[in-house]
Amino acid sequence: MKVVSIVGARPQLVKLGAVAQAFAGTDHEHVVVHTGQHYDPELSDVFFAEFGIPAPDYHLGIGSGGHGAQTGAMLAAIDPVLDGERPDWVLVYGDTNSTIAGALSAVKQHLPVAHLEAGLRSFNRRMPEEHNRVLTDHCADLLLAPTEEAVRHLAAEGLAARAVNVGDVMVDVCHRTRDAVLAAGLRPELGVDPDEPFLVATLHRAENTDDPELLAALLESMANLPVPVALLAHPRLRAKADQFGLKLAQGSLAAAKPLPYRELVAAVLASAGVLTDSGGLQKEAYLLGRPCTTLRTETEWVETLEDGWNVLAPRPDRLPVAEWHALAVRAAPSERRGEPYGNGHAGAAVVAALEAHLR
């Protein structure tokens, strides 16, 4: 079986880490295409090195652009690659512009497409990720869902026959990395004292970064917290803060670069909690047992909301200050977490599902 994985943005490289490892133990041919959507080394190269993923077989070098220009350039560049490779499966990941471009190119060439992390929904049609997920699910042949909730969403859209719950590949990577970090006693490099209580924060979604008034309010809310906050600043956040004349380092906020995965896991383990609008980080906080406050109106990962492990706070500036502080620095719930995201063997389940549904 020949499988072409199409990736481009940071969260896809984490997922590819699990899938590439699962393929490494088989006779299957696994070809990796990197669209170039993320090109800064700390959003891309470090993950290949970290997860031991061989260099991409194709690097398309597309880079930044508006949604149409970026997605269109990817589509034009992916077409000849898939035409030359003619794989048994094209595997696309998550919800970025690289996902929809890969899926569309494959469908138009009558190549079977599998969508990893299928069935996630925010039900917020203002998010580019929501368009990408819904459209990709509806054109894919095999829907590799991470949870039962995701399978239910697919069923509600008439896609149950194509859906399989394989578990979440991010659990494979997160658990493996947690064990390595704990064994190595790795200490995070953050610009805050890791021996004192602190929070880890990220902010990169267009809904939050691209509105100057909202971005200013979110930064100010983090800056007024009573504990240090290590803000791992995505390039989109830095660019928008510069454009709007906003400071990332203010009050309790210390701005740092995005971290390699191992260091991110070390930082979350060392922290008292997480503030984020990232889907992946909400789940990593849950898996690592740290309370998370999500700076969004909704989450796709609703399982994390159980028992208050994750709480939504779209406008912390509109909460009474004492309430916001109590929320952001709350202790971890005492309730045990379940295993809604599977047991850490999702990579192998993905390979098995692709084998079982081979055309």
Q: Which residues are known to be catalytic?
A: 204
* Neighbouring C-beta atoms of residue 326, cutoff 10 Å: 11
Q: How many residues does the chain have?
A: 359
Binding mask 27-66 for ligand UD1 (x = CB under 6 A): ----------xxxx--x--------------------x--
Report how far residue 203's alpha carbon sits from residue 238's, in angstroms, rounded to the nearest whole number: 10
Binding mask 186-215 for ligand UD1 (x = CB under 6 A): ------------------x-----------
Ranges within 69-98 binding ligand UD1 (CB under 6 A): 95-97
Minimum separation from the CB atom of position 41 to ligand UD1 (A): 8
Question: Any long-range contacts for 52-55 (C-beta under 8 Å, 24+ apart)?
Answer: 52/20, 52/21, 53/13, 53/16, 53/17, 53/20, 54/20
Using rule CB under 6 A, residue 11 touches ligand UD1: yes
* Helix/strand number for the chain, H first, E second: 14, 13
Considering the complex, state which of residue 36 and residue 273 has its C-beta at the smaller distance from ligand UD1: 36
Write the CA distances from 302 to 123, 129, 188, 298, 337, integer angstroms.
12, 16, 29, 8, 13
Considering the complex, state which of residue 164 and residue 200 has its C-beta at the smaller distance from ligand UD1: 200
286 with 292: CB under 8 angstroms? yes
Q: What kind and span of H or E run contains 275?
A: strand 273-276
Considering the complex, state which of residue 32 and residue 232 has its C-beta at the smaller distance from ligand UD1: 232
Choose the stretch contacting ligand UD1; rule: CB under 6 A; options: 8-16, 79-87, 309-317, 326-334.
8-16
Using rule CB under 6 A, residue 340 touches ligand UD1: no
The residue from 236, 257, 325, 357 that contacts ligand UD1 (CB under 6 A) is 236
Nearest 5°: the CA angle 7, 127, 148 is 70
Choose the stretch contacting ligand UD1; rule: CB under 6 A; options: 154-162, 182-190, 229-237, 244-252.
229-237
Place of tokens 């830095």: 238
Binding mask 238-267 for ligand UD1 (x = CB under 6 A): -x----------------------------
Contacts with ligand UD1, residue ranges (CB under 6 A)? 9-11, 37-40, 43, 64, 95-97, 128-129, 204, 234-236, 239
